[in-house]
Structure formats: C-alpha cells, structure tokens
Structure 1
Amino acid sequence: MKILNNDIDVDVIGFGALNVDKLHTVGSIAGKDEESFIKSQTDTPGGSAANTIIGLSRLGKKTSIIGKIGEDSDGDLIELNLAMNEVYTNNLIYSDNGNTGKVMGFVDDEGDRALYVDPGVNDEIKMGEINLMNINTCKIMHYTSFVGDSFKTQIELLEKLNDDIKLSFDPGMLYVEKGLNELAPILERTDILLINETELRLLYEDYYKAIDNVEEVSLKEIAVHVLDDGIETVVVKQGSKGVYAVNNDGEECFVEAFKSDVVDTTGAGDSFNSGFLFGMLNDYSLEKACIIGNWVASKSIQDYGMNAFPSLNQLEEFMDE
C-alpha cells in the first residue's frame, strides 16, 4: 500500500460527498407498508465522486479528492480505501466533530437499489479548508452532489479555478431537483455534463419546450440546446440501453450497453464516468470514450461496490481485441 500525500500534479480531482455505503442484500425492496428481509450486509467506502476518482486511479490516472471525513471508524475506512487505491489524500479535510457520511443501501436480487443518505460532516466543507495550490494544477475537476451547504462551497470554488481546468459535472438527482436557476453557476462553468436521461429531461425539458413553443422535445434536441448554452460535451447515460453523447466539435454517437451479469448497479454511472473521463484524458474520440465508459460500467456491476472495477491491464486487453 502506498500512502500518497505529497503535493503533485494530478489528472483529475473529485469534489463530492465521501460516504461509507452500508449495503444490504435483500429479497426485495420494500415499498410503503411492506416488509422484506436482509440476507447479508457489507460496509463499502463510496460516494459518487470517490467512485469515479478511484476508478480513474485503477485505470492508471493520478487522482485526488476534496472531501470531509470524521475522526471515526468510517472515516478511517474511507482514508484507507483511497490510499490502497493510490488516490492522493492531500485534499482530504478532517473534522474533529461529527460523523463521517454514510449511505444505507438495499440491493435486491435484480441489482436494483434503494438508498438513504446520512451526510454527516460532508455538508460542512468551507472554502478556507481547501488548498488552492493543491488543486489548480489538475486537468479535470469532477463535481458531484452534496445534500446540504457544501454545494455553496462548490460554487465559490469555481471562481478560484484556473481557466484551463475542465469542469466535469454529474449532478445526480439531488442537484437536478434544485432546478436550473440554482445550478446555473455550475452549469455555466461546466465543460463536460455527465447526466442520465431522467435527470436531463427533468432539468431541461420544460425549459426548452417553452423556448421552442412545442409540446414535445427529443433527447437529441435537448442535448443540442445544452451545447448551444455553452457546455462543450453532453453525455446522456441511458442505463441498459446505452449512452448518447454529442459535443461542439460536431461529434455525435449512440453506443449500446454491453451485456453483463448484474449483481449491483450501485455506482454504475460513476464507473461509466471513470471510463469516459479516461478517454477524454487520452484525447480519444467521443465514441471511443463512450465505448470505454460502457465497458467499464458493464464490468463494475458484476459485484458489489468497486470490487469488480477493471484494471488498466484489463482495459488494454479489451481495447486490443
């Protein structure tokens, strides 16, 4: 194991919640007034940004993460997991009070899930706790969601980022539900939008219907509108169907998902992000980056957490086929 705390130029820095996913396998996910049973339970370090950053590290990229943990066993587990995956921990923030964030997850036999979030100290990140010298040499800053006030710190940080840093943004439903007006500062700085179809439509569909004065607007039309509003690349994740992507260089593609034996879909989108951003860092075409993203996601969902996430050697073998 390498403990990586030195100041160093990295490829990607994540900025998002750090959680321990307490995953419970269940016979079925209970609805209102229903009961189910727990078959097993495991604690797995997680968080959307952390999943993507760890995935990129396993693919050979230098990564770090801005996040906050408590002085507790869950915080120790997160720090150890980052170090074991060779993620630089020099941007971690330690809280003397409060608990590390956790997510109670319930995963059924089909790989579907229900999640309940306890954010803990994740939502206490202040601008003064972030070391700008550490972060302003990265190539990509990758934003994901927080439950509470750390969202405001993400917005504050935008003004401090060097202009040549690309901002990658996966808002997730927590941020999409904030609406366009509240997300505007981040979206205006975003270069790469990584979003699923449901989130894209919820965030933009009514807005562009009103602009175009139409009753329906297609996925492609929404994505093109988003490009026109200044985002360079729009990637729409469509689950088992695949992914649609378009950029302002005139590239457009739809890439089907790879068939896979599904065990746990938790973090599938984060795993896709790892593969896609790997492609962007290597200046691959939009389509090739999407293929890599889909392949990485197809591997990651074959086990719980990040257990099945592929290595760089496995990716290279796939690309040589």
Structure 2
Amino acid sequence: MTAADAPDVLYVGDLVTDTAIELIRDANTITYSDRAGPWLAMRSGAKLPFAGFQDFDACGNAANAAVAGTRLGLRAALAADVGKDDTGQRIVARLQEHGVDTHLVRVHPDQHSNHHFVLRHGAERTILVKHHEFAYRWSAPTGSAVPRWVYFSSLSEHAGGYQDEIAQWLAGHPDVRLAFQPGTLQIRAGVDPLRAIYRRAEVVIMNREEAVAVTGGDHADVHDLLARLHALGPAKVVVTDGPEGAYASDGDEHLWMPPYPDPAPPVERTGAGDAFAATLVAALARGETWRTALRWAPVNSMNVVQRVGGQAGLLRLRELEELLARAGADYGPAPFPEGPPSR
C-alpha cells in the first residue's frame, strides 16, 4: 500500500462463513422462557423440517465492521486468518468485492476456515460456533501502511499471544487510535488477558449483558457499568441495550441514545450490534463529533435488522444521511439522570 491508499481503519478479527437455517416453529421446534431467559428446544432424535437456508461468506464482527466502513466511505483493510479451502477463497473474494483490502489476510495450508451455523427462529437466532486453531501472527503494518485507526474485535480462545503482539504494536504507535468491540470469547476470557487493550482503547463498545460480565457491575445501574468500563482505561465507552437504545460516556457526561425508529418489525437481528459499533467508529474516523457519531450508529443498526444477515442492510453514506435528515429534531443523544435508568 502507498501513503495515498493506506487504510483509514484496519479491522482485526476472525472471519467466518455463516450458514443461516430458518427453522419451522412446530411441536418439534419451540421457544420458551424461564428465569434464565429465552431458550430454543428441539425434539431429540427427530427428523426436523426446515424452511430454507442461506450461506453468507465473509462474516464475523470485524468483517461486518469493515464492510460497514467501506460503505461509509472509508479505506478499510482487514487482518485475519483463513484456511486454504473453498470457504477461505470465497471469504477473501467477497471482501474484495466490498472494496476491503485483504493483503493482511493470512491463508493457512491444510486448515479449514471458520464456518458457523445460524439457527433462525423468528427475528432471533442461535449460533453454533467453532473457531479453528490458526497459528496467529501479527503482520505489523509499517511506514505508509500504518492506519489511522485499528478496530479490534472477536478472536478465538487460541489467540492470546496474537492479542499480546497487537497490544505491543499499539504501544509503539501512540498516534493510532483504537476501537475495541470484544467478541463473545473475549468477553468470556475476562479482563486480564486484554487489560492492555482496554487501557489503550479510545472507545469500547459492548452490550449491557457483556458489560455486566466484563465489569461485575449491576445490570440495573447503567451509570455503574459505564464507570466500571472507564476504570479499565478507555476514554469513551458505549453500552448498547437492543430496542432500549444505547448509553454512552466520554468521561464528562452520561448520554442516552434512543434507537432510530424501525419502519417495520425486525426480520433478523444478526449484525445489529456490529452495525452500531462500526458506524459509530466510522463517524469518528471521518472526523465527526462524539454526539454525531452516536446519532449515526442506530441508523445502520435499524436498517441491518430489516434484512437477513449482518451485511445486506448496511447503508452507504448518502443513504444514512437521507435517513438522518428524516429524523425529528429531537433525535439525538440526551443526558440521563443519576440512578439506574429503567429497562
């Protein structure tokens, strides 16, 4: 890469192909709730009919975010790992079709690429995941290829050394701004393996349940969750809360950002969180203010849930601006009072 086309944002995270299987709700496949939350149940030993399936190549938090970035006018590159198989070839080709630079995608001979299965039940989904044990190695950008931002996201439980390499590189490049959207396995691993990443991050984005898991805070008290996330080091933090909107802090004030009104009930919620986080970071990377970035993020999230898959509904900049123009004057972040906001 040359200085003219060095990435605005380098996205880092695992890549995957998703096969989305649409289930049929009948006596064999049901959903129910108990004190632990919603459950999906299937009759053991049965042959279960399903309505259909779709394959989605080049998925995962980082890939979804990179595609969002390119559609919003950013130069996006992606550092990731795939196997030398048909799935890996399709993943790389798909990213290139979206305009994502893939020269930092490492291809591993004799290994399979990640392939997940998404069980769709209404607008909800249950995902069967497996991350392969790649020999991760950080291909450190140098010279004119050093990005302005790094967007760090979901990796497997086998990537501890790789994460340490990235943290060390970031420590040596203080001008590179860091956004961190931890994935499920990084949340499960706890803070200690990622303490340097949290401390180095300019902005950290996660959902409310993840914030509780990471910080040990009170689910009912978002102020407490925001404060606990700040204590880990990031300058700005965002806690998303699905249809309830999002809560954000820049260290000076706590804001609530309402969702952008959905034009219809959601078709599927895959990728909604990725769209929110990626759009917020894209706005910051484009030089927008913190409050403007918070206004942008729910628009893309709203549109993604109107389509199946995490990328089909991602907006181009012109489309996002048109939707923002239709929003009322009161659409934007607002301070919320001390004490736990109602759910």
* Residue 130 of structure 2 corresponds to residue 118 of structure 1: yes
Distance change >3 Å, CA 190–CA 136, structure 1 → 2: farther
Q: How does 1:91-170 map to 2 (within 5 A)?
A: 91-109=104-122, 111-120=123-132, 123-127=134-138, 130-133=139-142, 137-161=146-170, 162-170=173-181
1:309 shift after superposition: 1.3
Partner Cα distance (1:120, 1:98) in 2? 8
* Residue 24 of structure 2 corresponds to residue 22 of structure 1: no
* Residue 280 of structure 2 corresponds to residue 267 of structure 1: no
Q: Secondary structure at the match of 1:66?
A: strand
Amino acid at match of 2:325: D
* Residue 190 of structure 2 corresponds to residue 179 of structure 1: yes
Q: Secondary structure at the match of 1:182?
A: helix
The equivalent residue for 1:298 is 302
Partner Cα distance (1:12, 1:134) in 2? 15
1:179 shift after superposition: 1.6
Q: How does 1:205-220 map to 2 (within 5 A)?
A: 205-206=216-217, 218-220=221-223
Name whichever of 157-166 and 17-26 sits farther off: 157-166
Q: Which has the higher helix share?
A: 1
The answer to whether the 8 Å contact 1:144/1:169 transfers is yes
Distance change >3 Å, CA 63–CA 134, structure 1 → 2: farther
TM-score by length of 2: 0.82
List alignment gaps of at least 5 residues for structure 2.
Answer: 30-39, 327-343
Partner Cα distance (1:279, 1:297) in 2? 14
The equivalent residue for 2:85 is 72
Question: For each residue in 1:160-198, what CA deviation from the matched residue of structure 2 results, as whole angstroms up to 9, or x when unmatched?
Answer: 121111111111332111122233222122221111000
Amino acid at match of 1:38: F
The answer to whether the 8 Å contact 1:91/1:134 transfers is no
1:228 shift after superposition: 4.0
Count of aligned pairs between the two proteins: 304
User: What is the percentage of aligned positions where both structures have the same residue?
Assistant: 20
1:86 shift after superposition: 0.4
Q: How does 1:40-51 map to 2 (within 5 A)?
A: 40-45=52-57, 46-51=59-64
Question: For each residue in 1:22-68, what CA deviation from the matched residue of structure 2 results, as whole angstroms up to 9, or x when unmatched?
Answer: 11111246426566542111110201111011111111111011111
The equivalent residue for 1:257 is 259
Partner Cα distance (2:121, 2:222) in 1? 30
Name whichever of 28-37 and 256-265 sits farther off: 28-37
1:226 shift after superposition: 2.6
Question: For each residue in 1:85-129, what CA deviation from the matched residue of structure 2 results, as whole angstroms up to 9, or x when unmatched?
Answer: 1011111111111111111111112x11111112235x32123xx
Amino acid at match of 1:189: R
The answer to whether the 8 Å contact 1:144/1:172 transfers is yes
Partner Cα distance (2:76, 2:185) in 1? 24
Amino acid at match of 2:19: K
The answer to whether the 8 Å contact 1:141/1:167 transfers is yes
Partner Cα distance (1:274, 1:65) in 2? 13
The answer to whether the 8 Å contact 1:138/1:165 transfers is yes
Partner Cα distance (1:238, 1:63) in 2? 27
Give the one of 230, 234, 243 matched to 2:233: 230
The equivalent residue for 2:99 is 86
The answer to whether the 8 Å contact 1:6/1:88 transfers is no
Distance change >3 Å, CA 145–CA 58, structure 1 → 2: same
The equivalent residue for 1:200 is 211
Question: For each residue in 1:228-266, what CA deviation from the matched residue of structure 2 results, as whole angstroms up to 9, or x when unmatched?
Answer: 442101010101111110013x24321111232311111
List alignment gaps of at least 5 residues for structure 1.
Answer: 210-215
